[in-house]
Amino acid sequence: MAQVLQEEVQVQQQHGLHEQLRESPPQAALICYYSLLLACPVILLLLMRRRRCATSSAGVVTARAREEELLRRLPAPPRKLPVIGHLHLVGPLPHVSLRDLAAEHSRDGLMLLRLGAVPTLVVSSPRAAQAVLRTHDQVFASRAYSPVADILFYGSTDVAFAPYGEHWRQVKKISTTHLLTNKKVRLVMAKIREAAISGTAVELSDLLSSFANDIVCHAVSGEYFREEGRNKLFRELAEANSSLIGGFNLEDYFPVLVKLDMVKRIVCAKAQKVNKGWNELLDKLIDDHANAARSESQHVDEESDFMDLLLSVQQEYKLTRDHIKAQLVVMFQAGTDTSFIVLEYAMIKLMQNPNLMTKLQDELRMTIPKGKEIVTEDDLNGMSYLKAVIKETLRLHGPAPLLVPHLSMAECDIEGYTIPSGTRVIVNAWALARDPTYWESAERICPGISFAISAIEIMLANLVYHFNWELPPELKKSGIDMTESFGVTVHRTEKLLLVPVLPQN
């Protein structure tokens, strides 16, 4: 197994897994378009067959007629097409498309979209979001089924995609009682200092992404995470996950297609490939931890990593090996993306607003003793402006603009409308955060933020305390490219290049 894993790592290092799996945006869109055209006849036949079967049961017909009547009462855009419904109205940045559609067609923050065969309620007002996420949270606590997520997260048994029930409550308890934090910033600071001395630009995107990946890998898997290049493979697999589960995928909105084995094999082929990579990596990691625990009679304490914790409660919570893998995958995914994206956008916003950069530097440099090698968590008490910068970055550029889709488990009344059971619900957190009527009390709900915020504060403080920053010559006229790419998280398509400068005093 070790030899197989080592060979796999070497292959991935030469040809990044995410490069093999991720199509360029235009090509991916073209493939999706032609796939939809080819799938249309199959979809129509399956729908006709389903309708004929349904007519044999008067009870089923009555229930569906009632459901359709309730859905028709909800506000919706008029431009619905046969088979695909409103899918043609959703652009490459779905959170922006949904915000624009809601501005024109929603009422009371609610709008119904027919995305393929799946009726989807889009929530884009604070009042409606509160009704879904708080007032009626028990009704909307479950998740919509996704065949790709089912493969990547081992039957959707992780804390993010698991349907509501006892298993979800158990894994949520495990995840929220083990805080993942780390203070390792010396390596990043050393690389930036070398660039500052030589007067060259640094690829801050790569440095911050590696930093976020390393602290999450270390916190989740301990000292084993760098063996055989595993940290690099973790990062590539997480990026592949993001590209697969973040889009408006054909199989999610035409569920009848997944019932055909041939179609399911085609649309889920990439997910199966990524899942194989996770299996090989995590099986070796779990075996290493289990063997170490048996040989050293280790006890779980505050210094233990997350995998030690999962193995220690495996019998108590009746966790299978796949359950453990699912929790590990979602932790790698959430922690890495959250930290890296917030850090990068925070630096961009400070570069675009030099007066804010100066204000933050003044707060740090006037409070922390001059010449301190590394700013630590203990130095950040009372740093109100630092916390405000991070909070504003989360408001403007939250890593997950569309929360993981919810699924209603029963009929529910929201803002005078009855939402049928089984309705998929998307909360547009990006639109909520940019609503000027909601700025004062905007909340961010982001998987991974609970254990990532400490690392974000420490790294941003070190970047701003130790260095002044300039744009490289080639960007001084054009500025920083803000073109974004949509996945389970939204990130910029171009790397962030900045020139670090050592302060004179």
Question: Stretch 48-55: mean pLDDT, rounded?
Answer: 52
Q: Is the pLDDT of residue 448 over 80?
A: no
Question: Stretch 206-224: mean pLDDT, rounded?
Answer: 77
Higher pLDDT, 399 or 344: 344
Question: Stretch 471-483: mean pLDDT, rounded?
Answer: 92
Among 448, 323, 335, 303, CA closest to 313:
323
pTM of the predicted model as reported, rounded to 2 decimal places: 0.77
In this prediction, residue 26 carries a pLDDT of 40
Q: Give CA–CA dist 4/221, Å, rounded.
A: 20
Among 287, 286, 313, 308, CA closest to 298:
308
Q: Give CA–CA dist 240/247, Å, rounded.
A: 12
φ/ψ region of 91 (left if φ > 0, alpha if ψ in -120 to 50, else beta) reads beta
Q: Give CA–CA dist 319/325, Å, rounded.
A: 10
Cβ within 8 Å of residue 123, ≥6 positions away: 109, 110, 129, 132, 425, 426, 427, 428
Cβ within 8 Å of residue 113, ≥6 positions away: 76, 77, 85, 86, 89, 90, 98, 101, 119, 120, 122
413 φ, ψ (degrees, to nearest 5):
-95, 125
Cβ within 8 Å of residue 127, ≥6 positions away: 108, 109, 415
Q: What is the secondary structure of 162-228 as a DSSP string?
A: PPSSHHHHHHHHHHHTS-------HHHHHHHHHHHHHT--EEHHHHHHHHHHHHHHHHHHGGGTTGG
Q: Is the pLDDT of residue 347 over 90?
A: yes
pLDDT tens-digit map of 369-393: 988 888 888 888 889 999 999 999 9
Least confident of 230-234, 356-360, 426-430: 230-234
Confidence of residue 62 (pLDDT cuts 50, 70, 90): confident
- Indicate the average pLDDT of the chain: 79
In this prediction, residue 300 carries a pLDDT of 55
Domain boundaries, the chain: 2-56+157-400+446-501
Pick 2-56+157-400+446-501's CATH classification: 1.10.630.10, 1.50.10.10, 1.10.10.10, 1.10.443.10: 1.10.630.10
Q: Give CA–CA dist 352/354, Å, rounded.
A: 6
Return the top range by mean pLDDT from 214-218, 222-226, 400-404, 414-418.
414-418
Q: Is the pLDDT of residue 177 over 70?
A: no
Q: Is the pLDDT of residue 441 over 50?
A: no
Question: Stretch 270-282: mean pLDDT, rounded?
Answer: 91
Asked whether the beta carbons of 419 and 109 are under 8 A apart, the reply is no
Q: Give CA–CA dist 126/300, Å, rounded.
A: 41
Least confident of 98-102, 111-115, 283-287: 283-287
In this prediction, residue 175 carries a pLDDT of 56
> What SS3 state is found at 125?
coil
Q: Is the pLDDT of residue 20 over 50?
A: no
One-letter identity of residue 63: A
In this prediction, residue 363 carries a pLDDT of 96
Tokens of 504: 């004179």
Least confident of 446-450, 453-457, 486-490: 446-450
In this prediction, residue 119 carries a pLDDT of 94
Q: Give CA–CA dist 119/424, Å, rounded.
A: 7
Cβ within 8 Å of residue 417, ≥6 positions away: 70, 73, 74, 108, 110
Among 194, 199, 233, 196, CA closest to 217:
233
Q: What is the secondary structure of 267-319 as a DSSP string?
A: HTHHHHHHHHHHHHHHHHHHHHHHHHHHHHT----TTS-HHHHHHHTTTTTT-
Neighbours of 458 (CB within 10 A): 22
Asked whether the beta carbons of 362 and 436 are under 8 A apart, the reply is no
Tokens of 382: 């009372």
